[in-house]
Structure formats: C-alpha cells, structure tokens
Amino acid sequence: MKSPKVKGIGEVVTEYGAKVMKVVKKGLLGRSLFDFYGDVKTNALRVKESPSVPQTPIDQDGGVVYVKTADGKLYYKSNEVAEVELSAHTGLSTEEVQDIAGALVATGGTKTGIAVTYQDATGDVDFVVDHNAATNYVAEEHVDWAASGAGTIHTDNYIENVVQTTVSGSSGTVTSIGNLTGDVTSSNRATTIADGVVDTDQLTDDAVTEDKLANTLLAEIDANTAKATNVSTNLTYTTASDRMTIVSSDGTNVVIAEASGSIAGVMSVAHHDKLDGIEDSATADQTKSDIDGLAITTVGALSSGTIASGFGNIDNGSSTLDTGAATVGDLHVSVAGQATLDLIDTGGQTYQIFCRNSDDVFGLFDGTNSQTFFRYTGHATDSSTKLALLEAGGKVGIGTATPSQALDVSGNVNISGDIELGHATNTTLARVSAGVVSIEGAHVKTQSLTIKVFPNQFINNDDTGRPVFLEDDTSNTLAARGHSTGDDFYAFVEIPPLHKVTHVQVHASANTSNAVSVRSFNYQTGADNAISATTANFNENKAVTNIPATATQDLVIKCTPGANTVLVYGATVTLALI
C-alpha cells in the first residue's frame, strides 16, 4: 500500500491504485478522521470511551458510534436517527415474538369462514370455523345445521332416539324406534296424532270413509239425513242513530228501521232525547203559552243557544247561574238593597259590579283585595264626590300602572278650565290666550326656543380703546361696527334654566370665514373654557357643542370682523330642552 499524504491528510490506496480510505482533519484541534471507501472487516473493533457525547453529524455525513465514559455503554446516532444504545440490543423475547406473530395471524390475510383470535395472556391462537360461511368445501360434504328447510339436519327435521334404519335409494324403513314426543306421540309403537295436526290440506278427496268415523258421529249424521236444515250461525248486530242491523255470517242481513207513523220499528236517538226530557208529572195538554208563563226554577248547564230579551225570570235560588257558552241578550240583576254581579276568573280572581239604593252608588269592587277602585255617586253635591277613582295607596294613574302622586298622568292633558293650586283664592293658573298663561292675573312669559341678540349687546375689546360704533350711514340699515380691523366684539347671553344651546348664527354684511367663536361663560369667575369652543363663519347657522344651563354657566359669542367695513346686525341662539 502507498499513502500519498501531506501532513497526515490524503488517501490510502493499494499498490494497484484501489482507494481504501481518505484521511481528513476537522475541528479546532485538527483531529484526523478516516473515511473508508468499502466495507471494514475486523475481528474486533475497539471504541474509546468519550467523556462527552459527540456532536451529531450533519446530513449525508453518516453516523457516529461511541462509548460513554459515564456508563461504558455503546451508542449510535446520526442526523436522521436519535441516540440509541447498541449494547442493550439482545434480540426479541418470546413474548415479543408471540405478540408479532399472533397479531399477524389474527389480523392478516383473508380467512373466509374462520375467526382467528390471539390470546395474549396465554400465547394461544384460537381458530373458530363457521361451517355455513365457509366456501372451500365439496357441495356434498356441507350440512346446514341451522336452517329448517328440506335436506338439512335440524331439530325440526330429524327424530330423536332412532336406533336402526334401513335405507334403500330415496326411501327408508325404520326398523327400531324409541318413543316419540311432540305432535305425533308413541308408546310401545302405539302412535297418536294430536288435534289440528292433520287438516284437509293433508287429505285427498273421499279419503275418509265411514269406517274411519266414530260411531256417535255416524249416528248424528244418520239422524239428520232426512231433514231439510237451513241454519244461520254467528249472528251479530250493528247500530246507527235511526236503525239496527242484524248481521248473518252466511245469510242475508236484516235491517230493523226507525219507527214511523205507519210502521213499527226501533226508537231513534232523536226520539229518545225528546222523551227523556219530559218530566215524570208532565201532561200532554200544556201549550206553548202555558210553558212561557211558568217560572223555570231548575235547568241544566246552558251550553248553547240564546236567552233572548223577554224570556222571563230565571230563579236560580242560592245556586250559581252558569250560562256556559250560551249568549245572553239582556241580563237584569234585581235585588232589594244592593245588587251585585260577580265576575270570577278560573284563577280565583273576583271582581264585582254593584249598585246600592241607600246612597245611590254604582261601583267596581276588587273582591280579591277587598277594595273599591271605582265609585260613582248619582246624587252627589258639590261638597261630595261625584266620581272617584281609588287606589290602594290613595293614588290614581292615567296611562301608568304605578302612579307616584295623587294623580299621575302619563301623556298630554287637555284642560278647558282653570287649574287651582292649593287654595283657589291665591293660586289660580289660567289660560289668557294662545301661548299666554297667567297666575292670579299676572301674565307668565313662556320661553321661546330662540334668543335674539341685538347690535347694542356687542362690546369691543380693549385693544384699540374704542367702543363698538352704531353704524347708520347706510340707508335704512342699523348695525354694529368696529373702529379698527383688529377689533373683537363680545356678546353675553343668559341660557334659560332647563335649556341648552344647540346652534348659533351671527348675521353680518359679509360671510367672513372663522369670524365667530362660541364658548361657555361663568359669570362668577369669568372662565370661558369649560366647554370646547366652536368656530363658525358669519351668516352660518352653526351646530355647537351643547352648552347646558347651570347655576353659573351661560354663553359668550366672540366676533372678529377683520375689517372696519364689516357690519354686524345681531345673532340668533337656538335652544333645546335638556
């Protein structure tokens, strides 16, 4: 062999040029690594123990075999295979072989008519053959033990205790047999066939002759031979509201119809109901007028029909009158003293409509809560109550089920007269005209939803030291005007209680951009920054950040005309209720 290596790096080849291995150096320490081109055969391969686990080779660099100093065991790992202990591999155990082979036999391949089960606990393999499902047999060898058809061995098709038979061709002779049981029984070769086993399907015509019949049956047949007999058996009947039908099983049905004025027959349901309603003591000479004049004292439930006006009196005594679904035309309740009509629902809630003669009162009474909630007094005077709506807490609600005041109205109230507050002598609230109200004769000013701001309400700032001028040079026009182009005008507006400012528009002779600034104003501190300012143009109806009225909060409008030729005519402030 020759080794053309340079500094320990190169290839080892034979004298004939065959490459044996390649030597390379890797790592910081320049360790030599040997890469063999073929198989390595040796009687023993010695692997030096390594105090640390070698690095895993990169992909396509093979694997590394090493011995750990810690346990002296042999290991292998590569880029594709995680560390595995080689010294621990001693071959498969008996149990492992059984688990592999048993599962393979039980689940692998096709087994027609054979069920295979691997018993892991005992290491056994059970084979169960289903003879009926199996197909790998000769037809003549197959016997169906389950079916009960012809040609099969089944409990329905063979005789127990057969001792000896002689069979020739397709027939056979039983020469010795034990006792039979079932529909055909035997005892000492005396055979008995049970009733119902042999019927006409098993007998041919004229197969039974007189010598096969019992003597008693022959005597009965002889006794009836000379008689002409017509007998109908199994008679039944059906009924309807106006007839009865007798049904013959082998003859003609007979219908017995309803009786009429000319023929007799059965009583119909309608006739029965009429007769059933006649009292025991009733006579046949009572006319309609006689019956109408009677007072009906007892009746059943009125479930239909109409009790018309003029029917007469119904005296139900102390019982409850239940009209059911009947329609009552006019219902009159007449009782001396106080007449009461009870209204009771199925849940037990009771209400009463009553009238009382002693004090001329009509009312509605809640029987469940024992409370009169409506009362009308017919002869009431000015000092008494004509109409009263009552509530348990002394409060009446109109449009609300939970009144919080003596009178609580949810909705609008239309009043044609005056409203008396407290004593009529000093607190009368009255309507004067449309939109005008007075209290004890003094007019009350109603609040409009707009406030007008006039030219004289604008005040100049102190930049020029000149006041706002009233411009009257233009014919038929009055307005506020500044002295200098840098003048700022301010107008202060009080916001009415329970209102808020929603829009502001400053009217001017020019549509100057960003000439208006709307802010809140505190008259006690002079602060104008409680609410963010809104900027607008002259003559623009600007929606502002809502400024609500409070004890100290009102409105200030700042105008910057930008030229002393721009005239300010006034402003409009729009309000809304809080």
Residues 500 and 554 in one domain: yes
Residues 43 and 100 in one domain: no
Contacts (Cβ under 8 Å, ≥6 apart) of 250? 232, 233, 234
Residues 62 and 134 in one domain: no
The sign of the CA dihedral 547, 552, 554, 556 is negative
pLDDT score for 524? 95
Task: Look at residues 59, 85, 111 and tell me which one is the last residue of a structural domain.
Answer: 85
Residues 358 and 318 in one domain: yes
Residues 489 and 372 in one domain: no
pLDDT score for 165? 46
Does the residue 73 lie in any domain?
Answer: yes
Torsion angles phi and psi, residue 510, rounded to 5 = -140, 155
Report how many domains make up the chain: 4
Q: Low-confidence residues of the chain, pLDDT below 50?
A: 1-2, 5-6, 139-140, 157-170
pLDDT score for 140? 47
Of 478, 464, 547, 553, the residue nearest 509 (C-alpha): 478
Taking CA 475 as the corner, what is the angle to CA 470 and CA 481, rounded to the nearest 5 degrees? 25
The DSSP annotation for 388-411 comes to: EE--TTS-EEES-SS--SSEEE-S
Does the residue 116 lie in any domain?
Answer: yes
Residues 460 and 361 in one domain: no
Report the alpha-carbon distance of residue 78 to residue 64 in Å, rounded. Answer: 6
Distance of CA 324 to the CA centre of its chain: 38
Residues 455 and 565 in one domain: yes
pLDDT score for 231? 58
Task: Look at residues 113, 148, 163 and tell me which one is the last residue of a structural domain.
Answer: 163
pLDDT digits (tens, 9 = 90+) for 240-275: 888 888 888 777 888 888 888 788 888 888 888 877
pLDDT score for 161? 45
pLDDT score for 159? 47
Residues 96 and 71 in one domain: no
Mean pLDDT score of the chain: 75
Does the residue 270 lie in any domain?
Answer: no
Does the residue 77 lie in any domain?
Answer: yes
Does the residue 108 lie in any domain?
Answer: yes
Give the domain extent around 28: 10-85
pLDDT score for 2? 47
3 state DSSP class of 531: coil
Residues 123 and 95 in one domain: yes
Sole residue written with tokens 């199996």: 134
Which helix or strand (DSSP H or E) is residue 104 part of? helix 94-107
Does the residue 120 lie in any domain?
Answer: yes
pLDDT score for 570? 96
Does the residue 344 lie in any domain?
Answer: yes
Sole residue written with tokens 């106080």: 338
Task: Look at residues 37, 63, 85 and tell me which one is the last residue of a structural domain.
Answer: 85
Does the residue 25 lie in any domain?
Answer: yes
Residues 36 and 137 in one domain: no
Residues 458 and 559 in one domain: yes
CATH of the domain at 560: 2.60.120.260
Structure tokens belonging to residue 573? 């402030």
pLDDT score for 321? 64
Residues 65 and 149 in one domain: no
